[in-house]
Each structure stands twice: as C-alpha cells, then as structure tokens.
Chain A
Amino acid sequence: MGKEMAQSMQVSNIQTTLDPVAFPVSSKPVVTAKTEAARWGWFPALVLLNSCALLIVSLGYTLNRMNVEWAAVLYWLSLIIIFVPTAYRLLSPSIARRERIGLIVALGLALYLVKILHSPVDFTFYDEFLHWNTANHILSTAHLFTPNPLLPVSSLYPGLEIITTALSNLSGFSVVTSGMVILGIARIAFMLGLYLFYERISSSPQIGGIAALLYTANSNFIFFDSQFSYESLSLPIAVTVLFLVAYSTTKATGKFLQHLLLMLPLIFVVAFTHHLTSYVMIGILFLWAIVALLKNYKSGEWIRVGMISMIALGITLGWSVYVGSTTSDYLAPVIRNSIAEISGLILDENSGRELFQGTNGQSSAVWERVVGIGAVAFILIILPFGIFEIVRSPFQQSPLGKKITLLRADLLQAWQRYRSNSAAFAFAIIVLFHPIMQSFRLTSAGWEIANRSSEFIFWAIAFVVTIGFFSLKSKAFLRPYWKVAFVVWASVVFIGGGISGWPPWARLPGSYLVSADTRSIEPQGIAAAKWAGEFLKPESLIGTDRINSLLVAIYGHQRPITHLADKTYLASVFFSPNFGDSERELINRVKANYLVVDERLSANLPLVGVYFEAGEPRDKYDDTPISLEALEKFRRINSISQPFDDGNIQIYDVSSIHVNP
C-alpha cells in the first residue's frame, strides 16, 4: 500500500487525467503501463476493504434475522468502514482523477449492495412491490399503462419498468434480478455523473470528489434510492442531464445543438420515469438560467440553459397532462396535509411529531438521536460558509482557489475561468430551502416531504458544504486538524443521514413485525397469497390490509382494493366490531370478492402508522391495536364462506353480499 501511495503521489504531478476541457494541458506526457497502474492509488485496496465491510453487513443482517441484539453494531461498523477511508483518501489533493472516480463509484456501489444484501432473494420494500406490479403487468400483457391499483401513478411513469422488463425479456432473468442489475448499472452512472457534474461546476477534481462523497450522506441514499422504484432510476438520469447542461454550455466543448440532441432522450425518459424528479430538475434548470441571465448575461449561457429548461418543461408538461394526469391527485394531499400541519404547529393548534419516535411510541437509541441531530447541526453550521464563499468568491473577485492552497496553478486558473458559475450560485440559493424542509420533519404529514426532498436538496447541499469546508481550511486554528475534522464531520453527517432516513426496525431484516413494510413480508403471507393465485379467479377484487394487498397482487395475481384506485376506504369493514349495513354497503360499493384478514394485526400497533391505508378510521394517537374480535367477526356471518385458514390469515368469500345485498 505504501509503495502504491508513493507512486500515486508521483503521478499527481502529471495531472493528465483531468478533463481536457476543464483543464487543458499543453503537452502530452509519456505514460507507461507502470504509471497507468499507479494512478489507481488506493482504489484496489479500498475496494477490497469495502467488500470486507459488505461481508460484515451481511453477517449483521443474518444475525439480526436470528434476533441477536448486537447485530445492528455490525451494520453501522460496515458503513463506517465503507465511508471513512474513502472520505480520507478523497481529501488528498494529489491523487489521480481515475482514482477519485474509482473511489466514488466503488462507494456508491458498496452502499447499493448494502441494500441488496438486506433483501437478496426478492424485493421486500413497500415501494418495490408497487413498481414490481407494474413490471409484472408489462410482462403479462406486453403493453404499458395497465392500471396498477397499488399505485396508479406508477403505470403512468413506466421508465424503470420498461427497461427492467426489456432486460427480463432479453435475458430470461426475473423482474427482481433484472431490476437489481439495471439499478446497479444506474448507480455506477449516478456516481460518475455526480462526480463529473461537481467537478465541472467547481473546476476542481478534489471538490468534485468530496461533493459526490457528501451526496451519499443524504438520508435516502442507502435504502430509498437503491430500491426498485422510479426515483432510483430518474435521479441518475437527471444528474446526467445537469452535467450535460454544464458541459454543453461551455463553448469549448463543441456544438451546443449536438449536445442538446444527445440530451433529449434523457430529458424524455426523466419525464416519463418520475414526476417529482422531472419537476425538480426543471426548477433547478430555470433557476440556473435566471442566475445566468442576472450574473452572466454576456456569456449567453442563460440562453442555452433557458432553452434546455423550456424543452424539458414542454416534455414534462406534455407527459403530465396527456398521460400522467392523476399525478396531482397523488401528490397534492401530501403537500396539503403537511402545510396544514405546519400551520397548526405555528398556531399552536397541534403538538407536532415527536422526533426519533415511531408511531408505536418506540424511541430511537440515545446515540442515534445525538448523531441524527448532530448531522443536521453540522450541515447548518457549514452551509453559511459555503454560501458566503460562492457569493463572494471565486464567483466575483477573490478566487476561493487561492485559499485552497493545495490546488495547483492551472487549477486556480480554471477556477477563475468559471468565476461566474451560475450553477454554483443557483445551488447557493437552493440550500436556503434546507432549514425550511427540516422544519417539516416536525410534522407527521410533512416528514415525508422533508425526507423525500433530501435527495434533491442534497445536490446543492453537498456542493455548498464542500466549498464551505474548503474555505474553513484557511482558518489558522483549524488547519492542523483539518483532515481529521473533515472526516469526523463527514462521518457524522453520513451516519446521521442513515439514521434519519430509515427507521431502526427497517434497517436490518428480522422477525415479523406488524404493519412494518419490509419486516412484514414473510413466508406465511406469501404462501397465503400464492394459494390465492392458485385457487381464486385471477384479478378477483380483494379487500385486505396494507401488506397483504402487496402480496396478493404480486404473488397471487389478484386485484387489491385501494382508496387510490377505487376511491373507497374499505378499512372500516375490518375495524368495525359488527358486520352491519354500512359494512355490507361498502363491500357492495366496491364489488369485493374476497377479504383477506390477518389476525396478527391485533398483536401490536402498526409501525408505519396505518394497518390499511392513510385515512383509516383510527386515531393516530390511539395506543390500542385493532381488536381481534373485530377481525374474527366474519366467521360468524351467514352467507360468508371461509375457504382458507392458516392460523393467522383467513380468506373470506364476500361475493354473496353484492350478489344478494
């Protein structure tokens, strides 16, 4: 390792590995196979270390499945092993560009595998089932847009599912394996795109590497954006679009229209892969264009960015209006409820959400609370320095590059060349939304908005805090400890992101928990759903809870009844202690054929906050589980057959009710 480090230090003097556009070199140096290999620096060693960390996390998952209490320690240990050495190495100003890129890609892939190892056999995350259902519909019908009752909007934004089923059709792989492969490839591109984008707008490989590293600290990076869901694909594509915009609006890179042509497929696919990502991407592009207009009018950058923004807006609006017309029905209630709850909090009308506390009253460990809050505080402390540097320099007069003493002369020139960097300035504006979004975490409805915004706002935060941290390097009191301070700071932010993004019970696989998404997916429910697939007529209308809805759709090929698709809340049929006229009327209204009743629900409160779906007749502050008597009442009703029983799950045939109401 030491020898390779020394070699990589020598190689640093060559610097031919830089982007030739951002960092033009006057003469081509002689490159031998030995120096080519030396440029990899620590990369092979850190990849090996990452793989060992993955073995540790894998053991942690397995031990947690066996209810070993300290298994979570292995999970956190593995994350630290993956993150810390890479962070330390990327701080070095003298490593070759290929090593930086290699380390960033290896980091992204290792964190992707942390998720894959969590559920290595099948998809088990809630959102994954929603998109798995759309993919199954494409495979079974050979066409798109078959309505998906689990998430109607999913079938209207089928980008991920098209590519996954294409690979499935071509390779013979299942949807699960194809999805894992496609998202693995997308993750490589994501990390590459992030690095190239940050490098381009900062004109510094070092800043590019650190910013890409810090992006992985957003609370959704490890699990949410690694799952089989449309956002996991749309983010990498959107980042590539942003990079291409930065790349193409530089005159030196060639013909703008040719770049635009290459960008078009990406813009199209973002538009029909994920609504939210396309909206955010367009917002950033417009802000970028406006900043370019105000700050850098003469360069004409605003015209090029503005043109791309308009094209992206046209494509996205076109898709939203003509195909994804129900998107607003899906997104609006979440936003409306969040704003109402925030208003109530300000007006002291409600008490808000208890931080680090689950809906069943279970609190996170003290260390998790400290690190979680510490991560937010650490970001908020550094952000002002970054904003200040971007507004003040190098984008106006005094180049920040002069303070980054480790950058060499040609880098400083490049930095100055981009002193009117509109993208960086736009990011400085975007991070101002961060404190506002954090306030949403204080509400139940707004928590999702705050959490879901992190992967977008972190595009800006990662860049601005990197600039901020580099600006602090010039402070005399910090200089001797700068590297250590950065690694500790970044590690707290990274671990804090992991804590706030995913609840403790969902991070590691384990025994069955009530209404706990991934922790509720287990063989008994799957076996019951498969039985339904074998013995019930396909696409029978089935009323059931949140988890069994997923299972009967995927494993049973049945049609679950949901409020999103059927505009009827069926949950009260299950909650009611009696089976009276109103319950019969509800079943009759949706023409339900079967009810799947899982008596395990009565054992505990739902960990995700609901047993069935949002809007169920249960007070969120109610601390008593759904009653077993209510769930068992169907046994006593004349004319309701019960064709299936496995001890926990019963299936009732209620078709006689709408035949003879």
Chain B
Amino acid sequence: MDRKFSFNKSMLFAGLLSVMILGATSHVYAVQSPDVLNMQQQMVKVTGNVSDAMGTIVGASVIEQGTTNGVITDIDGNFTLTVNRGAKLEISYVGYKTRVIVVTDVTHLRITLEEDYRQLEEVVVVGYGVQKKKLVTGATIQVKGDDVAKLNTTNALGALQNQTPGINITANNGLPGEGFKVNIRGIGTVGDSAPLYVIDGVAGSDINTLNPADIESIDVLKDAASAAIYGSRAANGVILVTTKQGKKGKMQFSYDMYYGWQNVYKMPNTLNAQQFMAITDETNFNNGVPALNWQTQLGEYTWNMLQNGWQGTNWLDEMRNENAAMQNHSINLTGGNEMSKFSAGFSFTSQDGIIGKGTVPNYTRYTARVNSDHVLLKGGDRDIIKIGENLLFYYSNQSTIAQTSTLYNDVYNSIKTTPLLPMYNAEGELFDYHNMQQTGWVYDDKQSNPVLQMQKAHGLNKDRTYGLNATAYLEVEPIKNLKWRSSFSYRMTNSSSRSLTTPYQASSNEGSASYIVSQSSALGHSISQENTISYILPKWKGHLFDVLVGQSFEKTIPGENLSIINSVAEGQQLPTMKPDMDHAWISNTIGNAATDIEGYPFDEWALASFFGRINYNYKDKYMATLIMRTDGSSNFARGHRWGIFPSASAGWLISEENFMESTRGWLDFLKLRASWGQNGNQSIPNFQYVSPIAFDLSHGYQFGQTHIGAGKLPTTGAYATTQANENVTWEKSEQIDLGIDAVFLGNRLRVSADWYNKKTKDWLVQAPVLSTVGTQAPYINGGDVSNKGVELSLAWNDRVGKDFTYGLSLNASYNENEVTRIANSEGVIHGNKGAIASVNAAEFYRAQVGYPIGYFWGYQTAGVFQNQKQIDDWKAAGNGVAQANPQPGDLIYVDRHRDGVIDEKDKTMIGNPHPDWHLGFSINLGWKDFDFSVTTSGAFGQQLYYGTREHTIEAFGRWHGEGTSNRYPRLGNSAMIVDHVTDIDIENGDYLRIQNMTLGYDFKRLWKNCPLSQLRLYVSVQNLFTFTSYKGMDPEVGFGGTDRYGENATSWVSGIDMGSYPAARTWLIGANLKF
C-alpha cells in the first residue's frame, strides 16, 4: 500500500519535471525552424562510414559544423545525414583526432579517424574546473560513469571497489541501502576519516543519493596537491562526481534495466541441538557444575521433539528470504544545440534483503535529475554569457532489521541463540516466554526466539529520506579566455522515520508489554555561493599560464529535528492501534501513554574560503601547478578558525622530448609527476571552544514528595557537557606524491604508478582523559599518523582480427599505517569496551603510537597446556600464568613482560583489521556483438575477529585430552581469562572475490532496421565466488564495534565479525536500450 502510493507521487513529480524541461528545450529548436525551411532546396544527403585502423567505430559523432544537425554512427560505423551543400562535417570520437570534411558532390564518405593517444585529450575534473589529463600533475583517478553503471550495484561506491587503487571501500554490512567505509590512502584519523564528496561542484553531498546511471564520471583527488583546492575539508581526499551533462547533437534516449535474484552465499555451520547439548555438558563438567538433566531443563514439548529426531532450530536458515528481488530502471535523455543543452535522468531502484523473512528489509530509491545550460549571448567562437542549472531530487525508503551493534543485531541473535529453543509452539505460533513456562522450559529463560524479536520489534520500521540539490550558475566570458563564474546552490535533506515495537515476550528479559511507536522527522538545509575568475594568459614563447582565483561561502540554515516516542501498555491502546506498520502512528497511541519528545535545531555551521590556482605549461613538456586555499570555519573560536592550505606540483612529459624520438615506436607517452601539499579537516561538533551548559532531565533530580503520576517530572539540572578547549583548530594532512604515467605499444598498454607519504597531524579527537576530568573529554588536536604506500594500475587493450577485442586490467595498492603521536599521557586512544558480545568485554582495539590505527590489542597465546609437566616447566621457566590454578587444557598466555604475572601489560598487537594490499583485476572480452567481463576485487594482509566461532561446529576444535588441540583450550570458564580477547579468535582475512561476471549480446545486428542504436541483453552474476580461508560468512566486515550502549559505531576499525549481515550472491538479467 505504502510503497505504491509513494511510487505514484514521485513518478508524478518526475513527469512534471520532464515536461518542464522538454518544454524549455523545444522552444530553442523552434526558433530555428524558419531558416531550415528556406534552405531546403540546397540540401544534400550524405552517407558514410567511420572507421579506424582496426575497424568501424560505433557511436562517433558526425555534426554539421555550426549547427545542431548531427548523428552518431551505428553499429557498423555507418551514418546518414542531410546537410547544406558545402557544409563542413565534423567527425569526432573520444580518443581520436577530430576530422573536418567539406561536403562536395561526393555523397558517400569513407572516413578514417586517427587515434589520439599521443594527445590524450581526455579531460579530468580537478575542482572548480577541468584539465587535460596529460597535463595533470597530481595523483587523480577517473572512473567513467559507464564503468560504474555496468557493475549493477545500487550504490556507486560498490562499483568503485576494484577500479580505484589507493581507495579502501568496505561495505558496512550487506543490508540493502547500507553505506560503505571509504578511506583514501589509509585511515588518517580516529575522528572523521571519510573523504569529501563534491557532486557537480556542491561539497558535502551524499553519493548514496545518486543512481550509478546518472554519473558521467567520478574523479578521485588522492594526493594533497590535487585536493588542496578543497583546503579545509580535503585531508581525507576528495571524490568529485559529475552527473551526466547535456551534449549537443542528436537527442539520445536510453533505458537501462536489470532484475536480479539474491541469495545467501555462505551459511555459518551453527551447532545443532545434539551438538549444543554435548558442548554444554562438557562445559558444565569442566566448570565443576552439576550436570543438567536435559529432560527437566527443556520441558516435555521440546524433549519430545528431540526424541523424535528433531535436530534443533537453525535460526539463520529460518530467517532466510530466498531469491530476494533486486531491480533497477533508469532512463536518460540528452540533447541540445550550440545554444542550449540538457540532460535528464530518472531512475528507480529496489533491493530486498536476503535475511529477514517476515519483515524483509528493503531499500527503494527514486531519483530525478535535470542538468541544462543555455548561452544567452554568443560572440564569435565564445559564449559571452551562459547560464545553467543542475537539479537532483531523490527519495529513498529503507526498512531494516537490527544490525547496528552486537546488542542489536538479528543475524548475531540467530547465530547465538541455542538451537534447542523451538521456533514454533504446538499451535504453530512463534515460541515465546509464555510457551517456555507452559512447556516447562527452564533451561535458560533468557534465550529469546530471534525470529519473534525480529518480527515484533526490530523489523518494523521505515526510514524515508528525500532531498533536493539545486545549483544555478552564470558564466561570463567578456574577453577571450577570461571567465567569471558565479554559482549559487541550495541543498535540502529531509528524513522521517517510524518504528514500532509490538507487545511480545520472547524471554524473561526480552520483550515489551507495550506498543511503542516512534516517529521522527528532520529537516536540514544549506546554501553555498561561489565566485571564480579564471584567465588563460596569451602564450608567450611557449610558456602558457592559466590562473584561477575564487571565493566561496557555505552555511547551514538552522534545521529542525523532532522526535516522539510514545508507548501504551497492551490492553490500553486505542482500537486503531494494530501490530503492523500501517498503524504505527503516534495518534494511535494517544491516551494513556508515556511520551518522550525531543525537538532541537541542527547546529549552525559556516565556512568562508578564498582560493587560487596557477597552472603553468611549457610546450606541453613541463607542467607545474600552485594552489593556495584559506578557510575559516565556525567550528573554531576566533583566532583559531582560519587555516591556510598550500600545494605545489610539477610534471615532466618526457615522451615529448626530442631525445625520446627513437622510442616513439613503442613508447607513446611517458610522464613523471611530483607533488606536495597540505590539506585540512574541520569535522567536529560546534562549540567545542566553550564548555557548554546543557539543561535537561538527564541531570534532573526528584526533590520533594515522590511523584508517581504521569507528567510529574523531576527538577531540571544544568551541567557542563564537555571540558572546553579554546585552542582547538584544524587537523592537517601533508602529503608527498611521486608518480609515473606511461602508454606503450600503440596505446595497448597503459601503466600508472604512484608512491606517497601522507602525514596527518593534529587529529581532531576526543582523546580519552582521566575520569578525574569529571566530564566528557574536550576535542583536542591530539594525534599524528603516517600513511605510506604505492599504487599501480596496468591495463592492456587490444584487438585480434576484426571481431575480437580483449582487455585486461590490474589495480593494486599497498598501504602502511602507523600512529606517530597521541597527545595524552599514555599515547593511546582506547577502543570501546563491550564492542563484542559481552558488555563487560575488555577493550581490544586501540590507536597507539607505533602501531596501525585500530589494531587488535589482546593477549598472545602459546598454545594449550597439554599436561601437568608442561605447566610445571612453563612456570619453572619464570613465566606467569593467567589461571590461579592452571590445568591441562588451559590456554597458555605469553608473559611478554616477563614479570611472572599475566596482566594488561602483557597485551600486545594480535592483528590489524586494515588490509596491506588491495587488488582488483578485470577481464573484458568482445567477439562480434558478444561481450563478456569478469571483475574481481580482493584485500590481503588484514585480520578479522571471528566472534561467532563458539556457536558453530568449530566449538568442537577445543582441547579435550592431550594432543587434541594446541589452539583452542578446554571448555569452561577457568581455561582462559573471561572477557579478554586473545589471538586464538583472530583469523586471517585475506580474500579475493569474483565480484561480477557478465555476458551480453547486442541484438541490434539481428534487427538492422529497428530504430534502436543499441539493444543489448545480458546476464550477470555478482559475488560469484570468494577465495578465502576465513571460516565466517563473509570476510568483508565493516563493523568495528560500538560503545557499550550499542551506539557511536567506530569508524576507524573494521573486521569485527559478530554476525554481519552477509553480502548476497545475485543472478541478474538486464537490458540496455539506446535510441
């Protein structure tokens, strides 16, 4: 019901938008029609064929110069066009030199285009402008929108995983619509380490709001010199997204779709009922606890089922949603002429979750995008005044099951809940606490039916997000090469969410006696304006300078948050309150309800910036760029708010040198690059420079007589929330980059390599402080880290004969991360305690000087004591033991400190969750109209915390007699120190994943006279196979723990596998249609 309604609404909106924009552009065409009529008799029909040395070129643009009259070549390289006699035809194609041919009497043309690899005229986006790729002196990487879209991921980041060396992209988990952890060139801070996203020039946008089909290109600014133009927010790199822009020429319409079936790729081998009882009995025996009488423990109902051969409940299997659907439809429309161009796109994406039967998670997104530009005044060959706009509207809808922390995770619940608990009672209803009591289940009344919890509480929710990004700009070029560009952007993000908990009682401590409805909404908006002036100086003796100066100002307009949680005891609800989402409204709980209301503004924030860039180029051989930016941020106190971020870079195009003449036969292009720069990070909450006093009931007290009625609130308290730090200021990163780009063998082989050394200084962190501080730690500029690494990308493309093309590419990157300073006395920023299952669990990851950020910190072990003699020998050698009275089968802790005691001083690095190596390679094959591709991505050198081992059959790997295991100790509490992590739970996380395999065929050739220029159908499989030795469900684990309340997920750690929602294996069929 709900989904259908919103679909209609957004389609209506999309339709309206498209009518508006089509109206605008058709007007432009209409102006020209009288001229066209007059010239009818002078027209001539030209046909032709465009090819290169290897064969025909599909999609080359053929345009009558100075007009909008044009076509693109078809599948055989042919075109037909009616032009004025004597007109000049301009034939162009990316990567080839453009040719101009005067139409004479010859009406069939054979045109051969020459490859332009020496020139590499491709442009890349560099921030406030574009630059020819061959002249770029920084380390940037461009991924074409088509290469993103063809991997059929719902989020563009998912498709970048194997295409961007140096960028670490890890899915948080496999829930539909969930985000990614993205780090460029290693983690730079324990604060906010996410890169800055700039979509069509608007900084701070959200890439999740785009459909991959809307993307023209993604440019990643990896080194400091390139990113410096974004100064204060560029310390973690910049990702520039350009959406599809209007193109002059024939109107193009394309429709892309796919539909897929997703399934769990690998199930964990959880214990069955009999195995579980065996393990429990052994544990109790070892603990010296009386053996359980299972018959009386489980009660008659469950015991009888076991007697009849039941093997217990496989909870995860019960939650599986088989063949979960996934689909995407996108429409793109581009067209225009010399004066007006536009591009519009509409899309619909929907993905169901593979786990969550009964309350299947879903993510649905609609987008509508219109970009257009119009020349108002044209003079000679330049546009004197041009205006344009980018508009993007999105709407998304997500419903999830619990997956935020170990305390709130249905997948983990399904793995850890005992298989002995029945899923259904005798009536076929979900087994609950009442059934436990009824059937005499007394084994453990805190075991909660995870399916019941999911269906009654965790799975009933709906989050909607919608927003608008709008930019309008004016570009004036009063004299040639001098451009003033002024733009104004408005960004709005709205969200509203609802959730429901219905009355249920899964166990003695898990349930709700009430209907709890929560409704919240938030509205945020921001504006930004910027002005840039650029000028390309006249060439002087081969020296070419172009300069850019600019200013920008960004500001958030105070936004609003409002949330209400209402609960009404079962039996007291209104008749309109029903246990489903359709009825989950606050109004249905009014009456005898307990209310929790919050309403507050988003903090104001502003950033003022000035920047400049000088590009220098001598004869296309020697290039240099200087950038300077200064930003003032409202996050800091006066006197500490302005930061200056300079950079310099240089390039040498060796292949242009005369002395390289002899190598031209095999070396097409060779460039060396070097750069240095500084960037900033200002991402902290506002007002850290004073000690804010908050007033609320969280520090209230109930003076006077006890108030037991509703609405009798305690006295409000005032308290200082954090210690002030007036001196808090920018975090800075400084980076040196050396790079080389080369093209060999007639453009067949492209090689690019980079080395970098990035130092991030003065982290903005809330470093842990002593309890004696008495309140929350202030934000300080408190740490340094260095990231060093290399990146390599290799690509080989060639053609064999007329019909067969092939390409191979490999991306590899290596990064080494080391913390070099932490500004508190112990040099440590502690990880959250209780990040893993137990709320009492000790800290086991941290940032510490001399180690990688977020390394796993715990006890090293040296096997398991096999016999008494070994224990005696161990002690005699002066080693400490952790157990007061060690026995054979106990874990041997390494007494690193050699003081005869095992304590925290003996803890050390037992793993690093961050990969050393990232690897991605892909193969593309084309034969006639078939295409086939394989894409893989992998990560190596990282470790994972395998937190669910004891619930799987691997529990049987325990020691149970001399020689049975030298890794896992005997079962029971005293064999190891409770709540501490040791290296026995740390596993190698290396993996290589076949991410995508696609086979497609273009049917256009079979139906020559169909109006389509492309009719491609394909089948594809995602996540086909993962090569790994890891025993858990999926080695790609983004979860890095939360605090003990299940909040504030850690951004700088990953790889803690407490039952992460697994990635699906998906079979897809799809189609690409172009008119």
A complexed with B: no
B interface residues with partner A (beta carbon < 8 Å): none
